[in-house]
Chain A
Amino acid sequence: MSVATEKAPAAAVPEPRATKKKRGPDHRPGLSRKLPYLLLAPAVLLELLIHIIPMLVGIWMSFVKLTKFFIANWSAAPWAGFDNYRVALDFDNAVGEGLLKSFGVTVAFSLITLALAWCLGMAAAVALQPPFKGRSLVRTLFLVPYALPAYAGILTWNFMLQRDTGAVNHLLVDNLGLVSDRPFWLIGGNALVSLITVAVWKLWPFAFLTLMAGLQSIPRDVYEAASVDGAGSIRQWRNITLPSLRPVNLVLVLVLFLWTFSDFNTPYVLFGTAQPPAGDLITFHIYNASFLTWNFGSGAAMSVLLLIFLMIVTGAYLLITGRRSRRA
């Protein structure tokens, strides 16, 4: 379900670079003019097929009353105008109120997960920058959560977080005796903590990997010069590492935000059909709104609202960061 979702940004980013490279000197003018387009054609076609057309269908769906009465024959679904949007945005009504709450939970979840994943990734990348014996082993170890199939990893967390039989409570209650009453981790208020923990666990290796790659491009002699000048490691990190990683961070933070905001697998696998309000992420909420109630028009309207929100955030982000980099 989220394969397309997750790969989208990563796959889309390198494209422009590839197209630029094609402008080399060529001795056959006819072919050289066509070649770039020919090479691009499969990608464009697939992009149309996989992203653009479903997206347009999704937008169309948000304007029709696509309930169970019409799913066998989509074209018969009556036009709803902005009705689906009105219901989704009427915050006095149960549906709108639920969407708003879910939005709030998702914003909190995304920001905390993003911050934690980035900090962990940065700390690990910096710690592993100087060469030492066994460094590659530790690097590999850190990448394990990212290499594991998402379902297997999250299911294991689900077992660990069970109240009576889970490893987490066994450790906290039986071994360490930190709490006397066994806490619930997958229902009630703790659900958000569990969700963030699992999401960070799943995501931070990507931040680590990206930042580690970025660090490789900073020349060692800059650090050497800085330490000769008497700069401590924190100073070096703030004045050399961070500014040098700026282009990497720009993309990384955006991608991490988009991934966490539209994370579906984590709540779906962690909570199953019994998702608690504290873990009601917006993608999962939309899934329930469409698939459990068979009201795909309403679900599509919510998706379009989510799309608009993410576009605004991304646009604002790029605008602000772009302006700053031009000034600098």
Chain B
Amino acid sequence: MRLRSLVAAVAVSALGVSLAACGGSDSGDSSNGGGGGDATLTYWASNQGTSLDNDKQVLTPVLEKFTQETGVKVNLEVIGWNDLQTRIQTAITSGQAPDVVNIGNTWAASLQATDAFLPFDGDAMNAIGGKDKFVPTALATGGKEGTDPTSVPLYGLAYGLYYNKAMFAAAGLQPPKTWEEMVTAAQKLTNPAKKQWGMALAAGSYTENVHFAFINAAQNKADWFDADGKPTFTGDGNVQGVLRYLDLMQKDKVANPSNAQYDNGTKSVNDFATKKVAMVINQNNADSSIVANGMKAGEYGVVPFPAPSGGEQVASHVAGINLSIFKNTKNKDAALKFVKYMTDATTQTTLGKPFSSLPVLKDAKPVFTTDAAEAATFADVYNTKSKPLPLVPAEDQFESTVGKAMNGLFAKIATGGTVTADDVKTALKTAEDQVAASS
């Protein structure tokens, strides 16, 4: 008996704490440049194309060209978005890191706080071609304001409101210029009996949801953090902004309640591409998915995601992918050369089309679409109607807590519940407490 208790006790304790200590043991093989000959870099790329394989196909010739030019070999690994943050986390914690990595630019300030990345100070910045080559708002996402950024922009992205031209023409509608026009148009194009909806929302994706919390609050001139980096989630502008977005499903009923289960943006984009919905708000990299699903370039138009009349004209956050170098790299010079290569005008043009990205360089023209109007719209949004997400270390917590709160609110609406401004405020208060508790 006693022995059994002991064994059981050991088993239980192992069980409990192995939870705390576990965390994915896969680590990037840290490259070492010693092995006789030129350096080898390990590069973690994010998923930009239609699949991980597609990314590999697109990037391989680009990387081979870099090897030809510099003699530096590059080991490429493409990592899906569901894993990328955890992989980076593990790399930081274990010190077993790649040399160069893609990050979602909204994580920049949070990752900077870990002190695991190389700051692009004067010398490093000069080595990659100087800060003046970048679009200033894009470079501003590289880290906390007033510090040397630890990441530089690689691919630019912005939100736009995609609409189906044929559906709009058939209903005698013009592309919306204000939030109110958007809702009216969406209501006209909604017919649940025919499984036809005005809009599709990725309402079960916390990362998408939090972007709309941010944009809608920004249209109300509300911020999520004060000057000291303290969360201010429960302001009136924040609550009303979130509610306005939730009301697309709740009050305006222009989105299918099933959208509450859409846990990534691709699902809502597919609904648009297969003509089940008339509008979708997505970043410009939706183009590749839309075309892959059979919709042709001329069949859809894009306008800036509209603010309510009288609101601030914010149509997007400054979205995109940044490049970071791990501080403990053994190949700092090669890594800097690589960052320079990836952000030079030629490479940007080569990758802009397959990845549907906006150029992060000053004076560069978007090449991701042949539709001049679409290109102009996105360039305009990116350059003049975008606001960076909060550049504070707690940004990642803002994303997960507020985003998940919105998932819950959408779920409540979809399953027949009612969400009032007070409910939104309570949910945001909980999110705020969570952020405050761990900062």
Chain A residues engaging chain B, CB cutoff 8 angstroms: 1-2, 4-5, 8-9, 12-13, 15-16, 47, 50-52, 54-55, 57-59, 61-62, 67-69, 71-74, 87, 93-95, 97-98, 162-164, 182, 184, 186-190, 254, 258, 262, 264, 272-274, 276-277, 283, 286-288, 290-296, 298-300, 303-304, 306-308, 310-311, 314-315, 318-319, 322, 326
Contacts and interface: CB of A to CB of B under 8 A. Distances in A.
Nearest to B97: A72
Interface string B1-43: 1011101111111111111111110000000000000000000
A299 B206 contact: no
A114 B51 CA distance: 40
A273 B263 contact: yes
Contacts of A254: 8
Nearest to B14: A51
Closest 6 CB pairs of A and B: A307-B16, A94-B433, A188-B415, A303-B20, A58-B20, A54-B21
A91 to B, nearest CB: 12
Contact of A51 (B18, B86, B95, B431): B18
Given A94-B437, A164-B258, A272-B263, A303 B19 contact: yes
A192 to B, nearest CB: 13
Contact of A274 (B14, B21, B86, B263): B263
A71 B94 CA distance: 9
A189 to B, nearest CB: 7
Contacts of A290: 20, 23
Contact of A55 (B13, B116, B205): B13
Nearest to B93: A71
B288 interface: no
Interface string B57-94: 00000000000000000000000001000100100110
Contacts of A315: 5, 9
B433 A187 contact: no
Given A69-B115, A184-B261, A314-B12, A54 B17 contact: yes
B429 to A, nearest CB: 8
A294 B434 CA distance: 12
Contact of B396 (A54, A262, A294): A294
A182 B5 CA distance: 49
Contacts, number: 212
A95 B15 contact: no
19 contacts: A8-B11, A9-B11, A12-B11, A13-B7, A51-B18, A54-B22, A58-B18, A69-B393, A72-B115, A73-B115, A163-B261, A184-B415, A254-B8, A273-B206, A276-B411, A292-B400, A298-B437, A303-B20, A315-B5
B414 interface: yes
B397 interface: yes
A71 B89 contact: yes
A112 B116 CA distance: 45
A16, A51, A292 interface centre (most CB from chain B within 10 Å): A292
A55, A58, A68, A188 interface centre (most CB from chain B within 10 Å): A68
Nearest to B82: A273
A258 B15 contact: yes
Contacts of B116: 71-72
Contacts of A326: 1
A293 B438 CA distance: 8
A258 B8 CA distance: 10
Contacts of B435: 293
B408 interface: yes
B430 A303 contact: no
Contacts of B3: 16
B92 A71 contact: yes
B204 interface: yes
Given A187-B415, A188-B411, A95 B114 contact: no
Nearest to B112: A68
B26 to A, nearest CB: 11
A186 B174 CA distance: 38
B383 interface: no
Nearest to A309: B16
Contact of A314 (B8, B86, B95, B111): B8
A318 B20 contact: no
Contacts of A93: 433, 437
